[in-house]
Amino acid sequence: MTTRRPFPLAKVYGLLETGPVILLTTAHKERRNVMTLSWHLMMEFEPPLVGCIVSDRNYSFSLLKAAKSCVINIPTVELAEKVVRCGNTTGARTDKFKRFGLTPLPAQKVAAPLIGECYASLECRVADTRMVAKYGLFVLEVVQAWIDPGVKDPRTLHHRGHGRFMVGGKTIRLRSRMK
């Protein structure tokens, strides 16, 4: 993703409200991880707030709690195999970046790395943890967004369960007053 550019925070909702599978990266001290997840939602336009479920059974949970930050990376279908391998593997004994050939790039505002192979990356700070104990729901504020401007109609992955993924299709336009 050598061509990535800053992306306006006000437009971040359009990247996530389609519901793509994301790769959540975390880092704290000597540890880092990549986690595949689909359970996220937009909660506010600007500053963009994103809710994400990270269970305490996930290795990323302790990294996210400790670092209080992360990066949401959005892969496209070319990465499908790596997305699944990240989801099938725990980071407790494996550096998934090395094992699966994902390129960590330094973020600007958080410790976790961007993933070079993803077309968009959103640097986030943890904004609210009050729903973590009961639901594993972290409220994240996106503080810096990056995009590959060459990707206009990203063929994102959308999990249907048990290894089935719907791949993002064509985009249609309708006359809408909705933001």
Residues of the shown chain interacting with its own copies in the complex, contacts defined by CB under 8 A: 11, 13-14, 17-20, 36, 38-44, 49, 51, 53, 77, 80-81, 84, 87-88, 131, 135, 137, 139, 153, 155-156, 158-179
In which residue are the tokens 């990240």 written? 86
- Which residue, 29 or 179, has its beta carbon nearer to its own copies? 179
Q: Which ranges of 37-121 does DSSP label H, i.e. alpha helix?
A: 60-67, 80-88, 96-100
Nearer to its own copies, 35 or 112 (CB): 35
Q: Among candidates 107, 111, 110, 83, which has minimal Cα distance to 96?
A: 83
Amino acid at 6: P
Nearer to its own copies, 50 or 107 (CB): 50
Strands of 54-136, DSSP E? 69-74, 104-105, 114-115, 120-128
- Both tokens of 39, joined, read 């359970």
Q: Which is nearer to its own copies, 91 or 111 (CB)?
A: 91
24 vs 26: CA distance, rounded Å: 7
Amino acid at 76: T
* Residue 156 C-beta: closest distance to its own copies, Å: 8
Q: Quote the CA–CA distance of 21 and 133 in Å, as a whole number.
A: 23
Tokens representing 122 are 């959103």
Nearer to its own copies, 97 or 165 (CB): 165
